[in-house]
């Protein structure tokens, strides 16, 4: 029996898969393997986290892997949440929704399109789970998910439960300001700001626009670099990459998208090493030509 299987063997409502092919667990579909722990409820999650912490085993969280580069071999165990919930919550419009972190944003967008939840258009087209979106304050050109979050429930690495009531200081550009390493978001309260009968049309039009300007049908991790904010610049990371004529630049089986410079596409069997090398080349070119250091939006330390 594997070490992870052994120490978690007495915990109910989990599934442990050793040396799991993880290529389907990230939107970029990178070649990767690791030990995957699928957790079905809060009790099991607390036991798993406590047990791993007591053994000094570091774990990582994985939702849809939209902003993560999964290494070829991941040493630390991966926790994936798959909490059940009553889907009837989506049968009508509500002012408040309490949902598990494992819910996909696409389900929320579909509900908003049908019932006109004002404010929910900000998550249109984001390939992420609710928990992952909270962690990185996911957003689009329409706004940020933090604008519709009321409360976040999470546990720390000791299994202690916390409730965070969102304030103006809870989030900033592409990040949360309250979660610590090892914390796991398991439940979120979202609010709607009334109903807009034209919201479904707005969402459809925005998706059409994004499909024309971003490679949403390709295997990508979303935006690779954060935009530089706060220094009066109006040129985005993608525009800088376009100006430098780096579109189409390739390393191994990954290339800078010809459609949008801030996206990288896995066109065959790319690895995290390929992506990291391409990221460094682009960063070096940006710094050499403009003296600017672009910080990755995608997590590359996994």
pLDDT one-digit tens code per residue, 62-73: 988 888 899 999
Residue 275 binned pLDDT confidence (cut-offs 50, 70, 90): very high
The structure tokens listed for 62 are 């994985």
Report, as an integer, the average pLDDT of 220-248.
86
Q: What is the pLDDT of residue 49?
A: 98
What is the mean pLDDT of the segment spanning 272-286?
96
For residue 3, the model assigns a pLDDT of: 87
36 secondary structure, DSSP code? E
Find the mean pLDDT for residues 67-86. 94
Mean pLDDT to the nearest integer, 275-294: 94
> Residue written as tokens 């993608």?
238
Residue 283: CB atoms within 10 Å:
17
The mean pLDDT value for 47-76 works out to 94
Fold of 3-81: 3.30.43
Element of type H or E holding 5: helix 3-7
State the average pLDDT for the chain. 94
Burial of 182-211, coded b for 16+ CB within 10 Å and e otherwise, reads bbbbbbbbbbbeeebeebbebbeebeeebe
The two beta strands, 184-191 and 175-176, are: unpaired
Segment 83-99 shows an average pLDDT of: 97
pLDDT > 70? residue 131: yes
pLDDT for 64 equals 87
What is the C-alpha separation between 236 and 294, in angstroms, rounded?
10
Pick the CATH number of 87-199 from 3.40.640.10, 3.90.1150.10, 3.90.660.10, 3.30.465.10: 3.30.465.10
pLDDT class of 216 with cuts at 50, 70, 90? confident
pLDDT value at residue 105:
96
pLDDT attached to residue 292? 87
Tokens of 237: 């990371």
Structural domain spans, the chain: 3-81, 87-199, 216-290
Cα-based torsion angle of the residue sequence 137, 116, 99, 226 in order, rounded to the nearest 10 degrees:
-10
Task: Identify the band that residue 234 occupies on the pLDDT scale cut at 50, 70 and 90.
Answer: low
Give the strand pairing for 78-81 and 60-61.
parallel
Is residue 170's pLDDT more than 60? yes
pLDDT attached to residue 37: 98
Confidence of residue 302 (pLDDT cuts 50, 70, 90): low
Q: Give the helix/strand (H/E) hosting 187.
A: strand 184-191
- Mean pLDDT, residues 12-36: 95
Token pair, residue 15, equals 């599934």
List the one residue out of 255, 223, 232, 242 whose CA is nearest residue 285: 242
CATH number for 216-290 (one of 3.20.20.80, 3.90.78.10, 1.20.120.790, 3.30.1330.60): it is: 3.90.78.10
pLDDT, average across residues 83-110? 97
Which segments of 158-292 does DSSP mark as H helices, in order?
199-213, 237-243, 272-290
| CA 79 to chain centroid | 14
Q: Residue 233 has what pLDDT?
A: 62
| pLDDT-derived band at 29, boundaries 50, 70, 90 | very high
Phi and psi at residue 272, to the nearest 5°:
-60, -35
Closest by Cα among 55, 60, 54 to 77 = 60
Q: pTM surpassing 0.85?
A: yes
Measured CA to CA, the distance from residue 98 to residue 299 in angstroms comes to: 28
Residue 46 has pLDDT above 70, yes or no: yes
Could you give the angle at which helices 105-115 and 199-213 cross, rounded to 10 degrees?
Answer: 140
The answer for 41, left when phi > 0, alpha when psi is -120 to 50, beta otherwise, is beta
CB atoms within 10 A of CB 49: 22
CB 275 within 8 A of CB 264: yes
User: Which helix (H) or strand (E) is 15 found in, with range?
Assistant: strand 14-21
Q: Indicate the pLDDT class of residue 230, thresholds 50, 70 and 90.
A: low
């Amino acid at each position: 029996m594997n070490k992870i299987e052994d120490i978690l063997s007495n915990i109910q409502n989990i599934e442990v898969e050793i040396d799991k092919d993880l290529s389907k667990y990230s939107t970029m579909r990178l070649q990767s393997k690791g030990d995957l722990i699928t957790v079905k409820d809060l009790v099991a999650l607390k036991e798993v986290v406590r047990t791993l912490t007591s053994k000094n085993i570091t774990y990582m969280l994985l939702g849809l892997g939209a902003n993560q580069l999964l290494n070829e071999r991941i040493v630390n165990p991966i926790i994936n949440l798959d909490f059940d919930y009553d889907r009837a919550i989506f049968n009508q419009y509500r002012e408040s929704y309490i949902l598990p972190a494992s819910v996909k944003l696409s389900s929320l967008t579909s509900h908003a399109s049908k019932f006109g939840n004002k404010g929910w258009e900000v998550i249109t087209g984001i390939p992420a789970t609710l928990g992952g979106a909270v962690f990185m304050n996911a957003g689009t050109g329409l706004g940020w998910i933090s604008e519709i979050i009321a409360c976040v429930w999470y546990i720390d690495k000791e299994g202690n439960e916390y409730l965070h009531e969102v304030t103006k200081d809870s989030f900033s550009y592409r990040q949360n300001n309250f979660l610590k390493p090892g914390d796991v978001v398991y439940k979120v309260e979202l609010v709607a700001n009334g109903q807009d009968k034209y919201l479904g049309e707005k969402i459809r039009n925005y998706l059409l626009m994004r499909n024309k300007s971003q490679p949403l049908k390709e295997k990508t991790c979303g935006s690779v670099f954060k935009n530089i904010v706060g220094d009066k610049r109006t040129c985005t990371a993608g525009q800088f990459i376009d100006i430098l004529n780096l579109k189409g630049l390739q390393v191994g089986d990954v290339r800078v998208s010809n459609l949008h410079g801030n996206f990288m596409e896995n066109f065959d069997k790319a690895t995290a090493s390929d992506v990291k090398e391409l990221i460094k080349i682009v960063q070096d070119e940006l710094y050499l030509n403009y003296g600017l250091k672009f910080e990755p939006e995608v997590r590359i330390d996994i």
